[in-house]
Structures are given as C-alpha cells and as structure tokens.
C-alpha cells in the first residue's frame, strides 16, 4: 500500500513541464467557460499527483506514457520532493478555487486560478517552478528537514556541470 502512494524521485523535467502545460490549458478553460465543474478534473489531477505522481492522474499518464516518450531530446531529471510540494501548492490553489466557487466567491476562484495559471505557465514555458523555489527556501529556513530531499540539500551536486 505504501508503494502505491509514492512520488517519483527523480522526476523527468520534460514530463513536469508538459503536465504544467496541461494545467495551463485547464486553467484557461476555467477562466473562459467560468463553470465550477471545469475545476473538478483540475483538483483531482493535483490530488492524484500529490499522492502518487502520475500513477492515478489522467494528465500525468498521458504525458509520461504517450507524449514524453515521443520527444527525442536529452531529458533532465530533477529531485522529486520539490515537485511534489509544487503539486501540493497547485492542489491548494485549485481546491481553494473550487471551495470559493461553492461558497459563492466566484471572483476569488478566478484570482486563485489566475495565480495557478501564472505559476504553471512559468513552469511549462521557462522551467521556473515557483513551488520548488518555495520548497528550497523552506528547507534553508529549517521548516522542511534536510532529509526530505538530500539532493536538494547537496549544493555541490547542484553546481556540478552534469546537472546544469
């Protein structure tokens, strides 16, 4: 059971960026259509990816099994824990938007999804993971223990040419 709810480590950054592109499309769909039900697959996707990476996420499965294998580039692999944290942040934003919608605070839903859209766009287009940046800052402040991500804590590894 425990293995069922594991997150991949390392994570293929190409796949992470493609999943973020899917989130961008879902966020745009919600902002265009402005219907609560569009948030349901977005929230489910984040929940599934937080719990087990792409295993139970339809978007994650599409990306890792169909799209990424067809992209013939040298894939870069990055630590999993910051990506899992970023998925958790996405869950908070999308879940918060769904909750706000249910409470009649539609503008709050739009604002939360617009924030998610910005973050997912940065990840998908520029490989800038805001959740990962926050994760690393929380590690430096000691709020996330170093053993959660040994690779994140090993600065010499991050500076080596092989990981550039």
Please tell me the distance from the alpha carbon of residue 102 to that of residue 85, in angstroms, as a whole number. 25
CB 91 within 8 A of CB 83: no
Q: What residues of the chain score a pLDDT lower than 50?
A: 156-164
Examine residue 10 and say whether the peptide bond preceding it is cis (omega within 30 degrees of 0). Answer: yes
Q: For residue 154, what pLDDT is reported? A: 61
CB atoms within 10 A of CB 162: 5
Task: Note the pLDDT of residue 1.
Answer: 60
Which one, of 128, 155, 144, lies nearest residue 17 by Cα? 128
What pLDDT sits at residue 138?
Answer: 94
- Rounded to two decimals, what is the model's pTM? 0.90
Model pLDDT, residue 2: 65
CB-based contact 14:73 (threshold 8 Å): yes
pLDDT in tens, 65-85: 999 999 999 999 999 999 999
Which residues in the chain belong to E strands, given as ranges?
11-12, 77-78
Sign of CA dihedral 1, 91, 32, 35: positive
pLDDT score, position 162: 46
């Amino acid at each position: 059971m425990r293995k069922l709810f594991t997150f991949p480590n390392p994570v293929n950054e190409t796949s992470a960026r493609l999943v973020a592109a899917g989130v961008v499309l879902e966020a745009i769909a919600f902002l265009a259509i402005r219907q609560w039900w569009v948030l349901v697959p977005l929230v489910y996707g984040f929940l599934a990816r937080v719990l087990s990476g792409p295993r139970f996420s339809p978007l994650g499965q599409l990306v890792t099994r169909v799209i990424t294998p067809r992209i013939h580039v040298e894939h870069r692999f990055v630590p999993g824990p910051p990506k899992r944290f970023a998925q958790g942040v996405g869950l908070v934003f999308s879940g918060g938007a769904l909750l706000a919608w249910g409470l009649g605070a539609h503008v709050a839903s739009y604002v939360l999804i617009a924030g998610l859209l910005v973050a997912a766009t940065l990840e998908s287009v520029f490989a800038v993971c805001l959740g990962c940046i926050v994760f690393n800052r929380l590690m430096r402040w000691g709020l996330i223990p170093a053993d959660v991500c040994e690779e994140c804590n090993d600065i010499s590894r991050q500076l080596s040419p092989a990981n550039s």
